[in-house]
Amino acid sequence: EPDERAFQERINAGGKIEPKDWMPEGYRKNLIRQIGQHAHSEIVGQLPEGNWITRAPTLERKAILLAKVQDEAGHGLYLYCAAETLGVTRDDLTRDLLSGKMKYSSIFNYPTLTWADMGAVGWLVDGAAIMNQVPLQRTSYGPYARAMVRICKEESFHQRQGFDIMMKMANGTEAQRKMAQDALNRFWGPSLMMFGPSDAESVHSAQSMAWKIKMNSNDELRQKFVDQTAPQAEYLGLTIPDETCKFNEETGHYDFAQPDWDEFFDVLRGNGPCNTERLEARNKAWDDGRWVREGLLAHAAKKRSAKMAAE
Amino acid sequence: EPDERAFQERINAGGKIEPKDWMPEGYRKNLIRQIGQHAHSEIVGQLPEGNWITRAPTLERKAILLAKVQDEAGHGLYLYCAAETLGVTRDDLTRDLLSGKMKYSSIFNYPTLTWADMGAVGWLVDGAAIMNQVPLQRTSYGPYARAMVRICKEESFHQRQGFDIMMKMANGTEAQRKMAQDALNRFWGPSLMMFGPSDAESVHSAQSMAWKIKMNSNDELRQKFVDQTAPQAEYLGLTIPDETCKFNEETGHYDFAQPDWDEFFDVLRGNGPCNTERLEARNKAWDDGRWVREGLLAHAAKKRSAKMAAE
Amino acid sequence: MNTPLFEFLCRMGDNTLVLGHRVSEWCGVAPVLEEDIALANTALDLIGQTQLWLGMAGEVEGKDRDADKLAFHRDVWDFRNALLCEQPNGDFGQTMMRQFLFDTWHLIMLKALAGSSNEQIAAIAEKSVKEVTYHQERSADTVIGLGDGTEESHMRMQKALDKLWPYVGELFIGDEVDAAMVEQGIAPDPASLRATFDSQLDAVLAEATLTKPADDFAHKGGKTGARHTEHLGHMLTQMQWLQRAYPDASW
Amino acid sequence: MNTPLFEFLCRMGDNTLVLGHRVSEWCGVAPVLEEDIALANTALDLIGQTQLWLGMAGEVEGKDRDADKLAFHRDVWDFRNALLCEQPNGDFGQTMMRQFLFDTWHLIMLKALAGSSNEQIAAIAEKSVKEVTYHQERSADTVIGLGDGTEESHMRMQKALDKLWPYVGELFIGDEVDAAMVEQGIAPDPASLRATFDSQLDAVLAEATLTKPADDFAHKGGKTGARHTEHLGHMLTQMQWLQRAYPDASW
């Protein structure tokens, strides 16, 4: 098919696909899934950090955390807008999130249990997210690529803030060091899982890479993440909960053990520590907010018709 | 009327009126109001103390407070039973409480703000309650008098526990002493109000005293309370928030200033600091519990009919 | 040391601290994404203002207490926020009604403080006016939109107004601290702000088709600290937890 | 010092502490007065048992920590209660379902502990068996009454069971602490209690017309302390507030 060939050639040449351009149905569908999941992750991702806003230890930390969570909501907004250019509405996507039909990043199904988790989330979770997202600034779909540019700028700021919290904790009192180590212990494996299973097992990978909506292999990014993070852990004086995690002179990379993939699939199936709570929280917000959305819509309609009557 | 005369003579002779005995309609009505209000006070009275059960400072204090609140629910139960002997149901009385038609003791419309308030409530509020209740053990209505005997025994135990908390606080750290004094400052006036306005202004007093459902004048009991409490405050090293509160050698009693009766009437009208919260809490409990009450009733009915079918 | 000034600064800072905390409780669970963002933004501004007010309070006091020390190491009786600020969020309507009532007072107050004889206060007020102007526009719009929305939203907003109304009066009750501020040209007499407040309120309520309650009974005890509601203590258990549990740590 | 024994005692004591706290949250707001009394009574028993278990844990540890020190001065990671105990109350049905699941396990466990080689543990267990027998009868009756009540009560109880089921498995998962206890004849192998639990559970669920979920997935991390749920930290802000804010005070 000539359309499809032209489309692929344009991508190969580094061109951008824009909303009104022809695109294969699979491309559209895959993008909706991917951007939608990413948007949902930003939204659900507010919850584990929101859990500590009311307990932040200083006014400054509270402000930083609030700003961060606000940014995440903003990222959700950009991404829903990007998805909408593909012909779905935000409400459609939201309903699929709330019914459990669409997923969000599994990492947000883990609980935040101490203040150090705010550090670990920034350092590890945002760190892993950035690894995934930086290449996506060059993705083939224009609105998505542009959203990623804005998002990446803010994410790397968040990651630095997270690392800063970890430094304070790691250089703090004995209890703080303990919290920091405990946070690393709990978030290390789940962070490695953020890149997805090995590409060998991944269904969508080859086509997605050809379409440039996936830019690197999962294993490649995971290795990059470990290579970046392991020396940072050392710098913090914390121990990565993996005895095999060592620099390998031969490969020039850090060796590391695979995370517990059984746990990953458990979480995907809905059995993560917080799956139920997260979906309940979002569903409750949506249901409790119905009267507000309806009220504001009704008011806007009244104003419109009053304006039309006056014209 | 001979019935009425015989009734009054029996009371004058110190006899007890029992549920099946003839009684004037006014006597019945007044008793229902008085016993019902007393029962409601026990129920609503769980809330200000319940507010600190989850924050009790030691396991022992938590256990003592739980036991106390449990006793109060028990007192409510005795009193509703006594009221039911007069031909109303507990549900009738509850509905009148929830709609605001029936009152409960105004003191429970004040907030409990520090742990010292648990002491002040026991020492002052239970102390004032006992002053009111001890004479009621001799009230003319048998079921009421017998309920009061059980209640008074437990109340005086509670009062001692409250005083014990105050002692710990008053002899504790600077912050604890501050909490103790602050609690006394806030609860002194409201405690004096517990005896009601001066008898000169009280509508029901004369008839109720003839019927022996009120045994002493409000002012008399208030004076007794001040005479008992002032030396205790002194013993604790706390200052009663009333400069005029001094022992008067001539009268043999403590002088004291009247509490702020405007505030009292504000609270009665529903404008106390916690009127709204208290009624909301009780209404919510009742509404949320509907399915439970209905479920248990339905199950009991099923069991009954299964049993009848089997016979 | 200037005790009335310290008190006054705590009142300003505790208002923003406590209300900021309440607003931040909404994080991630607002009715629409745009509201999540707006509420976080409001909370953020209020926390920022808290740092300025309580920071200055600490300096004025001169006892080596900074804004964090004041925020996280005082117990209920030392808090000076108006009772309105500590009231629970309730539903979104109650939250926005509380916000509108507070914002409207806050903006009038801050505009007056921008002319304070105390330059530092004038500067804090000037900075805050910009933020609060936006808060007030937003909360007024929401009150109007929901008051004049559906039958349900109207009913909920009227209920919210009725519930919160008894906490409005305290904002305008003066005491000896206020008198000292007036005398020094630092701050306005609270009562003097009422007329402007009422006229702005009436205009918004009219558009929102809401009825101002007839009873003007006013709860008090927040800004003097004499008697807060039971809600504040519960808020502090959360807010101050880490500082209380690990007093030696730095974060 | 006997570390596995200390761990074991903390597990027993933290279960009763945390569940006792949850139950005490109902104070004054139960569906009927008789339930107010019964719930307060259950909470009271559990707090009393906590004093015994954590008191003994402190003695065994020998670091001068008494039951209060352990209850009020540890942070989440040091808590050893099963995740089931820290789950929120939800509605009354969820509270009673949690209670029934816990009571049923608890009673079987305590009966086994009554034969412990450690006399002090045997004595605590024996005293507790009396109380918990009553708890279990009551919670089983309530589960039956509400399960086999109205359509709504049935639906709510099934929902409660479905929600809490993933927290049941942890009660029966053993680890090296349990192995040490078995070896010393102090406590039974957790897995060995499952058959009795299941048969008692099945009997009650049958009478309650409720269906046991098919999926046996079990959350874990509570009794080892490796990963509690987010609920525990919030509970501790309340529970430990006064002790944390005023560490030098005695009460």
Q: What's the gap in Å between the CA of A247 and the closest CA on chain D?
A: 28
Check if B56 contacts D (Cβ < 8 Å): yes
Q: Could you report the per-residue pLDDT of B2-52, keeping only the tens digit for each?
A: 899 999 999 999 999 999 999 999 999 999 999 999 999 999 999 999 999
- Name the residue among C105, C107, C126 with its Cα closest to residue C115: C126
Mutate to test the interface with B, among D25, D34, D47, D157 (most CBs of B within 10 A): D47
Q: What is the pLDDT of residue A57?
A: 98
- Each residue's pLDDT tens digit, C213-248: 999 999 999 999 999 999 999 999 999 999 999 999
pLDDT score of B95: 97
Residues of chain D found within 8 Å of residue A179, distances taken between Cβ atoms: 77
pLDDT band at A205 (very low <50, low <70, confident <90, very high): confident
Q: How much is the average pLDDT of C73-102?
A: 98
Encode pLDDT of D102-119 as tens digits. Answer: 999 999 999 999 999 999
Is chain C touching chain D, with at least 3 CB–CB pairs below 8 Å?
A: yes
Q: How confident is the model at residue A311 (pLDDT cuts 50, 70, 90)?
A: confident
C-alpha D42/C-alpha D89 separation (Å) is 14
Within 61-120 of A, beta carbons closer than 8 Å to C belong to 61-63, 66-67, 69-70, 73-74, 76-77, 80, 90, 115
pTM of model > 0.90: yes
Other beta carbons within 10 Å of C69:
14
Residue A299, pLDDT > 80, answer: yes
Nearest CB to D230; choose among A51, A179, A266: A51
Residue D191: Cβ-neighbour burial (10 angstroms; 0-12, 13-18, 19+): exposed
Chain D residue with CA closest to A274: the answer is D229
Residue C10 confidence (pLDDT): 98
Contact check, Cβ <8 Å, C217/B274: no
Residues of D in contact with C244 (CB under 8 A): 241, 244-245
Beta carbons of D31 and B293 less than 8 Å apart: yes
pLDDT value of residue B199 = 77
| Predicted confidence (pLDDT) per residue in D82-91, tens digit | 999 999 999 9
What is the pLDDT, as a whole number, of residue A200? Answer: 73
User: What is the pLDDT averaged over residues A174-201?
Assistant: 94
Other CB atoms within 10 Å distance of the CB of residue C61: 17
Sequence-ordered alpha helix ranges (H) in C62-165: 67-72, 83-86, 92-113, 119-147, 151-164
User: Measured between CB atoms, which of B114, B273, B274 is closest to C76?
Assistant: B114
Mean pLDDT of A4-22: 95
What mean pLDDT value characterizes chain B? 95
Q: What is the pLDDT of residue A277?
A: 96
For residue B217, is pLDDT > 60? yes
pLDDT in tens, B171-211: 999 999 999 999 999 999 999 999 999 877 666 678 899 99
Q: Does B289 touch chain D (CB under 8 A)?
A: yes
Chains sharing 3 or more CB pairs under 8 A with chain B: C, D
Q: What is the mean pLDDT of chain C?
A: 97
Residue A247's beta-bridge partner residues? A254
Over the Cα atoms of chain C, what is R_g?
18
Query: Predicted confidence band at A2 (pLDDT cuts at 50, 70, 90)?
Result: confident
Residue A206 is predicted with a pLDDT of 84
Contacts of C244 in chain A (CB under 8 A): none
Q: Read off φ and ψ for residue B163, nearest 5 degrees.
A: -65, -35
Q: Which residues are B248's β-sheet partners?
A: B253
**Residues in chain C closer than 8 A to D237 (CB atoms):** 237-238, 241
| Region label for C150, one of left (φ > 0), alpha (ψ between -120 and 50) or beta (otherwise) | beta
A254: part of which helix (H) or strand (E)?
Answer: strand A253-254
Are the beta carbons of C24 and A284 separated by less than 8 Å?
A: no
How high is the pLDDT of residue B202?
67
Please tell me if residue D77 touches chain C, with a CB cutoff of 8 Å. Answer: no
Q: What is the mean pLDDT of chain D?
A: 97
Chains C+B touching (3+ CB pairs under 8 Å): yes
With beta carbons under 8 A apart, name residues in chain B contacting D140: none
For residue D192, the distance in angstroms to the closest alpha carbon of chain C comes to 40
Q: Given a cut of 70, is residue A202 above it in pLDDT?
A: no
CA dihedral B34, B36, B38, B41 (to 10 degrees): -140
Q: Do B and D touch (≥3 CB pairs < 8 Å)?
A: yes
Left, alpha or beta for B56 (phi > 0: left; psi -120 to 50: alpha)? beta
Does this complex have an ipTM over 0.90?
Answer: yes
Residues sharing a CB contact under 8 Å with residue B84, sequence separation 6 or more, in sequence order: B90
Q: Mean of the pLDDT values across residues B306-310?
A: 88
**Chain D closest-CA separation from residue C109 CA (Å):** 34
8 A C-beta contact, residue D251 and residue B168:
yes
C221 to chain B: which residues are within 8 Å by CB? Answer: 273
| Residue C31 · residue A293 · CB < 8 Å | yes
User: B-chain residues within 8 Å CB-CB of C217?
Assistant: 266, 271
* Residue appearing with tokens 């059995």: A271
Pairing of strands B247-248, B253-254: antiparallel
Chain D residue at shortest CA distance from A54: D234
Nearest CA in chain D to C238: D237
What percentage of chain B carries pLDDT values higher than 90?
Answer: 92
Chain C closest-CA separation from residue A86 CA (Å): 20
Burial class of residue B146 in the structure, from the number of CB atoms within 10 Å of its CB (0-12 exposed, 13-18 middle, 19+ buried)? middle
Strand partners, B254: B247
Chains C and D form CB pairs within 8 A to the count of: 19
Of A265, A138, A141, whose CA–CA distance to A196 is shortest? A265
User: Tokens for D12?
Assistant: 């027993």
Q: What's the pLDDT band for D1 if we cut at 50, 70, 90?
A: very low
CB contact under 8 A, D76 and A175: no
Residue B273 identity (one-letter amino acid): P
* Mutation target vs D (from C21, C72, C237; most D CBs, 10 A cutoff): C237
Contacts of B133 (CB under 8 A, 6+ apart): B148, B151, B152, B155
* Secondary structure percentages of chain D, helix, strand, coil, to 5: 70, 0, 30
- Which chain D residues touch A if contact means CB-CB below 8 Å? 75-77, 163, 166, 217, 219, 221, 226-230, 232-233, 237
Question: What gap in Å lies between CA B25 and CA C34, rounded to an integer?
Answer: 63
Position B162 scores a pLDDT of 95
Cβ-Cβ contacts under 8 Å between B and D: the total is 152
Using CB atoms, which chains have 3+ pairs under 8 A with D? Answer: A, B, C
What is the amino acid identity at position A71? D
Q: Which of C75, C234, C244 sits opposite D244 (nearest CB)?
A: C244
The Cα C211–Cα C205 span in angstroms is 7
CB proximity A55 to C under 8 Å: yes
Helix (H, G, I), strand (E, B) or coil at B190: helix
String of DSSP letters for chain D? --HHHHHHHHHHHHHHHHHHHHHHTTTT-SSSHHHHHHHHHHHHHHHHHHHHHHHHHHHHHTSS--HHHHHHS--GGG----HHHHS---SHHHHHHHHHHHHHHHHHHHHHHTT-SSHHHHHHHHHHHHHHHHHHHHHHHHHHHHHTS-HHHHHHHHHHHHHHGGGTGGGG---HHHHHHHHTTSS--GGGGHHHHHHHHHHHHHHTT----S-------SSSSS---HHHHHHHHHHTHHHHH-TT---
Position B257 scores a pLDDT of 97
Question: Is the CB of A57 less than 8 angstroms away from the CB of C249?
Answer: yes
Asked if the C-beta of D237 comes within 8 angstroms of chain C's C-beta atoms, the answer is yes
pLDDT in tens, B218-228: 999 999 999 99
Coil, strand or helix: which one is A145?
A: helix
Q: How far is A246 from chain C (nearest CA, A)?
A: 30
Q: What is the mean pLDDT of residues A96-123?
A: 97
CB contact under 8 A, C77 and B113: yes
Mean pLDDT of B258-278: 96
Q: What pLDDT, in 10s, does the model give residues C2-13? A: 599 999 999 999
Average pLDDT rounded to a whole number, residues D156-164: 98
Backbone dihedral region for residue C111 (phi beyond 0: left; psi -120 to 50: alpha; all else: beta): alpha
- Out of D17, D44, D251, closest to residue B58 by CB: D251
The answer for residues whose C-beta is within 8 angstroms of residue A250's C-beta and 6 or more apart is none
Would you state the structure tokens that stand for residue C110, as one six-digit string?
Answer: 């801050």
Subunits adjacent to chain C (3 or more Cβ pairs under 8 Å): A, B, D
- Interchain contact B263–C (C-beta under 8 A): no
Contact D227 A113 (CB under 8 A): yes
| Beta bridge partners of residue B247, listed in sequence order | B254
**CA distance, residue A41 to nearest chain C CA (Å):** 12
pLDDT at residue C1 greater than cutoff 50: no
Residues 78-137 of C with CB under 8 A from D: none
